[in-house]
Amino acid sequence: MKVTSYRAGEAGDFAFTEDNAKRAAAAVTHYPEGRQASAVMALLDLAQRQNDGWLSPEAIEYVANTLEMAPIRVYEVASFYSMYNTKPVGRHLVQVCRTTPCWLRGAAGLTDTCRDQLGIGLGETTGDGQFTLVEVECLGACANAPVVQIGDDYYEDLSPERLSALLGDLKAGKEIAAGSQTGRQSSMPDGGAVTLTELPERAPAEPGRAVPGPEFGDPVSPGPVSPSGEGA
């Protein structure tokens, strides 16, 4: 359906707060006239954050009405992406990445740790409403695998012991620090930033050779040079 204007939707007992209505209206302006439905993901995100982390049928219908879309089209988006929840979730949504790089680095052990420590299975929520456990596909932080997303934050370079400590702190109501749990900065090598600061030792020149041959890791040669002086 071609959308020609923005209007606040109406549905059941869900409606954007004044602030979110402004954010939604601003998101719609990012798209050309008649293409406002492209803002559906932004509006679903706003609705989910306002609705305790999940999209109720009323919230989906509200977004559909706002963007003049058929509710089923909005539901298709909400049910396709793992970032949207179409069922209630706990206060801490624990998403264990299970795709190959994380799996090779022990993701299955992380899921087992969550199961054991939280006493719930995949897709379940603890009785006190504090934790929901799910597995998801690649979170896009493979260089720091294995990775778990809790809420909006990533916890990287995990081991069962490190994750167990994080869950324990969350249970105790403590703040936890996002990012690498081994202390490395961003995705730098485990041993620190040495690539550009330490040169490999060169082997001594072989008899009959004035200069040692190139070593693996040496700077790449510019290649052959033509008589005119230009690269071949």
Residues forming the site for ligand FES (CB under 6 A): 97, 99, 101-102, 138-142, 145, 147
Nearest distance from C-beta of residue 142 to ligand FES, angstroms? 3
Contacts of 104 (CB under 8 A, 6+ apart): 145
Question: CA–CA separation, 196 vs 26, rounded Å?
Answer: 44
Nearer to ligand FES, 114 or 139 (CB): 139
Taking the least distance from each CB to ligand FES, the nearer of 119 and 140 is 140
Q: Minimal distance in Å, beta carbon 81 to ligand FES?
A: 16
**3-state class (DSSP) for residue 174:** coil
Is the bond into 146 cis (omega within 30 degrees of 0)? yes
Q: In terms of CB distance, is 28 or 145 closer to ligand FES?
A: 145
What number of other Cβ atoms are within 10 A of residue 108's Cβ? 13
Shortest CB 189 distance to ligand FES, Å: 18
Residues composing the chain: 232
The nearest distance, CB 135 to ligand FES, in angstroms, is 11
DSSP-derived pairing of the beta strands 92-97 and 131-136: parallel
Three-state secondary structure along 95-112? EEECCHHHHHCCHHHHHH
Residue 119 tokens, joined: 């006493």
DSSP bridge pairs for 92: 131
Whichever of 48 and 99 has its CB closer to ligand FES, that residue is: 99
Nearer to ligand FES by C-beta: 102 or 150? Answer: 102
Task: Pick between residue 37 and residue 158 the one whose CB is nearest to ligand FES.
Answer: 158
Q: Give min distance, CB of 186 to ligand FES, in A.
A: 14
Least Å distance, CB 225 to ligand FES, is 43
Nearest to 146 by CA among 80, 89, 94, 79: 94
Cβ contact 190:156 at 8 Å: no
